[in-house]
Structure 1
């Protein structure tokens, strides 16, 4: 999927934890765009595309309509990731007319969404209500959005968890079928101290949501689905965080900016610089992590390396993509629980397979030869 960012990281709200904030702090905003240059770049990438930001609905209606009409004619469908606060009846009309799959990033109702700041607490709550109304409206139209929910101290602290669980049940009843859960990516120590959950709290939240999943048969937390698939060696349809992302080429994110320039996923732009996309992927991070002792930021000896691979470089220890994720202990705990669940169901896992070390070496060999590694079959 191509991520189209006509206005780069420009946004109408100020999420306090946003991984794009270093780019905003550095003044790396986009002021304009060229529709034809963007279309040409998408065509070169091979499409289809998803409108992304910042906040892509800052693009005027007439230009959105041109892009989506072209996308429908060329690819048969369109996609959008938005914070949901700017959705109008015109947008809803276009979503239906141009077959736009909508994703909304929101962390909960009311106070649970306060970290998605909009200048004042009153304006923030008003914007959250607009996002909630948009979710309800799309469900009523038979086009339920998927959601991205980031877990942090404001929506998933022990005091707020009951509200979060209730909201998830309400979403299922409303018609929502897919929720992607994110752990907080902390861009600096201030964000981490103020908003990040502890390792123990993150584990408790995820295990609680895993248990809640059992009572919500129509709602899927795709995080747990993907982790189970990885344990079984079925990585074909899993997301980038489990699949050895190279921060300089980000295979899963082929970005196109407002004047057709290529870009990467911004999660490793810790210095506020959007580096140009490399032409050849490198897997040095994963080769090194496999051999580096865990006490030095590596993954050596971890039985979940085949599944996790050090996770997303954007969440690496100390903001240094060469290290494994700072959420390592959380993912180990969840993989351990899912591993036990699979064993109880009579299914095997790669993590406990007698072939695990052979498969690890095969993956390392593939990366050493510059090839994207998939789990050998």
Structure 2
């Protein structure tokens, strides 16, 4: 679970053409309320570490930003932050250092590869990208490398652009970069992003190329590949939210705190611009339905990777309908197949081909049916306890 504090809601200083928050911005009818005391009060109530998020969190008044960072540091010893990096200045870097901020930076690559993260004009966009690159490099050189999030699309992950992306990542690796999260392009705003969409084959080529690149890097790791392998081994406690059962109306991975202290869900499931309050009880209707629904109808029936994938993120569901499996199913399926072959070749049989898979599926379905959400790790322990002893 991550607590995401959004002092200014979806407000941002740039306009990424593929941003999943665009529907919320377009439907906004009034300026979001902002009360840093209410935010801190809610964080006191929740009582766990948090991250600052947006929109763009660096639009926050610096005195309020300092208060939030100071509160997080005093209570938990650290604070997380996700930013596009374009507004970070020298004084901000000093602030991050003072309060042990774990910074995440969103960027799609150097120079023109980041042009879809639009800052109004081409000149302004390139200038903003250069500032983001400088922030990443500075944090790496200072020994506090940020977690970098890269969204893959046609302008940074096909042909020569993919080669350039790899070279840039090698450069960051030499600077001491460590963590890179790869995102597939969401299919929201279809008309505006048609020029960015990649075919399934192109996406798989990009992901496989980056997986091969990882083996040659000294420190950078793409966490998604490790997580896929871990899920196939039943080691799901540290995997990202997209591989767990998510309820779009009570998101498992994200507890949001808006600028007035109001709770919220993960914005990736907000397709109509309506920010519903989180439901008090989490449900598993999506996973239960996907398990029984034919693939031709948007479900996952019969898929040997269902326990590990669970239809993936509802924010990427077919047609934006959270009840259906991810529109990226073919890509995930290919990556799970790759990892399955690798594990089997290394003498580590994956759960997807295990004789116990059907039993595990039954146990998980039974748990979801009564509102429980055990880890695969726990179910495997239960099965071992049930096994007869010689």
Instruction: Give the TM-score band, short-chain normalised.
Output: over 0.9
- 1:293-340 Cα offsets, whole Å, 9 max, x none, are 111100001110011000000000011000000010111111111111
Shift of 1:193: 1.8
Shift of 1:192: 4.5
State the partner residue of 1:144. Answer: 145
Shift of 1:158: 1.8
The separation in 2 between residues aligned to 1:89 and 1:43, in whole angstroms, is 30
Gaps of 5+ in 1: none
State the partner residue of 2:194. Answer: 193
Are 2:211 and 1:210 aligned? Answer: yes
Shift of 1:285: 0.3
Matched pairs, number:
377
Equivalent residues in 2 for 1:85-100, closer than 5 Å: 85-100=86-101
Shift of 1:45: 1.6
Q: Which secondary structure does the structure 2 equivalent of 1:79 belong to?
A: strand
State the partner residue of 1:335. Answer: 336
State the partner residue of 1:130. Answer: 131
State the partner residue of 1:165. Answer: 166
The separation in 2 between residues aligned to 1:311 and 1:30, in whole angstroms, is 33
Q: Which secondary structure does the structure 2 equivalent of 1:332 belong to?
A: helix
CA contact (8 A) 2:17 2:118 kept: yes
State the partner residue of 1:23. Answer: 24
49-58 or 25-34, which deviates more: 25-34
- 1:175-195 Cα offsets, whole Å, 9 max, x none, are 110000000012132144221
The separation in 2 between residues aligned to 1:92 and 1:29, in whole angstroms, is 33
The separation in 1 between residues aligned to 2:214 and 2:145, in whole angstroms, is 19
250-259 or 29-38, which deviates more: 29-38
Are 2:45 and 1:44 aligned? Answer: yes
State the partner residue of 2:387. Answer: none
State the partner residue of 2:117. Answer: 116
The separation in 2 between residues aligned to 1:339 and 1:62, in whole angstroms, is 50
Shift of 1:31: 4.3
State the partner residue of 2:383. Answer: none
TM value normalised by structure 1: 0.98
The separation in 2 between residues aligned to 1:137 and 1:87, in whole angstroms, is 11
Shift of 1:29: 6.5
CA contact (8 A) 2:18 2:189 kept: no
State the partner residue of 2:254. Answer: 253
Q: CA RMSD in A?
A: 1.1
State the partner residue of 1:180. Answer: 181
User: Deviating runs (4+, > 2 A) in structure 1?
Assistant: 27-32
The separation in 1 between residues aligned to 2:35 and 2:215, in whole angstroms, is 47
TM value normalised by structure 2: 0.95
The separation in 2 between residues aligned to 1:41 and 1:195, in whole angstroms, is 39
The separation in 1 between residues aligned to 2:207 and 2:55, in whole angstroms, is 27
State the partner residue of 1:263. Answer: 264
